[in-house]
């Protein structure tokens, strides 16, 4: 996959999608930033998407993504490898029984933990619906640089658990708290996005789907799989003094756990 500029978005990264784990019913895929999960009418000119990559790279007779990630978001996409698995696991997502863990780098210092409850529209309906996200702050940093009117700049590394599945939920909820995600061109802070792109070569949305726990449709067992952070996170976390967090989420050894 080569680098391409797609409209106003940042370039597609050089990292390829890959299979973290698979069996006869499910596959856990790693998606890089700025790769569509599948073709859409709104992005009909995109040259690449995850579903096409799966079709081209495997001999699987059936492969249907179950969960969706925004194009600029990296991390886990769960794929059904038969119709029954699609039905059973989709029901878990619909009933909010799937545990989802995301990591985000945001502007400012967030509270230690909390729950954001703000109704949001869906991707197909502008009428707001109940939306809830639980968060926990993992680390904070303060850099001696003035990005805006303040003499220093503060950032937080946040773990988010969306309890519902609304369109751009985590991005909008963090913006609601006035802690937008770094690299969010739709809902974020332009001066901070520009500073990260120019000074840390970091033009990407710093939001990553790091872990999913589902009930396996065949065995019924709780199955947890983790997705390593993209490589471009490493320099950013190093600069912010959070190197340990990359080693916890960034190695291939953390790709899966338990089943």
Q: Which of 46, 70, 82, 184 is catalytic?
A: 70
Q: Is 244 a catalytic site residue? A: no
What is the C-alpha separation between 157 and 166, in angstroms, rounded? 22
Residue 72: closest CA among 116, 118, 6: 6
How many other β-carbons are positioned within 10 Å of the β-carbon of residue 183? 23
Q: Which residues are catalytic?
A: 70
């Amino acid at each position: 996959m080569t680098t391409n500029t797609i409209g106003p978005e940042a370039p597609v990264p050089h990292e390829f999608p890959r299979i973290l784990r698979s069996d006869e019913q499910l596959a856990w895929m790693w998606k890089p930033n700025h790769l569509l999960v599948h073709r859409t009418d709104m992005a009909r000119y995109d040259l690449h998407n995850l579903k096409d990559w799966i079709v081209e790279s495997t001999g699987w007779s059936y492969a249907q993504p179950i969960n969706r990630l925004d194009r600029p978001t990296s991390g886990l996409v769960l794929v059904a490898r038969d119709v029954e698995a699609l039905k059973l696991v989709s029901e878990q997502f619909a009933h909010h029984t799937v545990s989802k863990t995301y990591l985000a780098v945001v502007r400012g210092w967030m509270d230690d933990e909390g729950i954001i409850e703000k109704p949001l529209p869906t991707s197909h309906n502008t009428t707001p619906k109940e939306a809830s996200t639980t968060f926990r702050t993992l680390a904070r940093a303060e850099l001696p640089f003035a990005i805006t009117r303040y003499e220093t700049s503060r950032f937080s590394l946040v773990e988010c658990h969306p309890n519902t599945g609304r369109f751009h939920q985590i991005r909008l909820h963090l913006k609601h708290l006035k802690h937008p995600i770094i690299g969010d061109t739709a809902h974020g802070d332009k001066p901070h996005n520009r500073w990260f792109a120019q000074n840390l070569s970091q033009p990407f949305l710093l939001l990553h789907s790091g872990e999913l726990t589902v009930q396996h449709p065949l065995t019924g067992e709780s199955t947890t799989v983790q997705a390593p952070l993209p490589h471009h996170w490493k320099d950013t976390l190093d600069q912010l003094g959070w190197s340990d967090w990359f080693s916890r989420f960034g190695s291939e050894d953390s790709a899966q756990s338990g089943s």
